[in-house]
Structure 1
């Protein structure tokens, strides 16, 4: 069993407005994203199924041809290989669950998140 204590691990700064902390299991990756107002995660796709849970704040998700304004408690499901992106309307905390494991992050192939 692994316990990641977020208060001890700190946040990885991906840009001036985007911060991440995550843990990999054998079949899933779970991440917290702190998206400050005005931050943009550029449109991208990946072979991982993604479920995003809005903990606080408001954000605009574009998934395929659809646009959603999400609020605390909302859940967004993003199927594998579907283009998607997000813009923070307010400072937001979003929990993402991915399956399978984000091996691209392990390799450092996450340039779309970095400035």
Structure 2
């Protein structure tokens, strides 16, 4: 690339749509053998987009599902609640989230979510590493 030139956009790597690619079930198992619950559709990552600094996904927690409490010693995370009102665990606190909430989760902070309502929860989830962050179960 010469001085002053701009990189070209590879739209097939840079743009991904949750409605086109769908969701995958979470596949982790907790400390007592319980299954981590919820659905995820990765939209930006190292492998998918070539990102070197973050990972962004669309998460969905169906009624009655629980995303087990855990922490990441090497990455911070955020949730932006799009719909629904999950109970979000942050350290020793529980917070009833609502659409429009932006929730910051510093690295090392215990967190998880429970959908104890009759409505699906949709959230945008971001992690400060593009891949390979550590996931440490706390339940």
* TM-score range relative to shorter protein: 0.7 to 0.9
Q: Counterpart in 1 of 2:39? A: 19
Q: Counterpart in 2 of 1:99? A: 128
Task: Determine which structure has the larger strand proportion and give its number.
Answer: 1
> Which one scores higher on RCO, CA 8 angstroms, separation ≥ 6?
1
For the aligned residue pairs, the C-alpha RMSD in angstroms reads 2.1
Q: Distance in 1 between matches of 2:130 and 2:100?
A: 24
Q: Which runs of 5+ in 2 are unaligned?
A: 1-8, 28-34, 46-50
> 4+ runs of 1 displaced by more than 4 Å?
109-112
Residue correspondence of structure 1 range 41-60 to structure 2 within 5 A:
41-46=67-72, 47-60=74-87
Query: Is the deviation greater in 7-16 or in 39-48?
Result: 7-16
Q: Counterpart in 1 of 2:108? A: 81
Q: Which runs of 5+ in 1 are unaligned?
A: none
Number of corresponding residues: 108
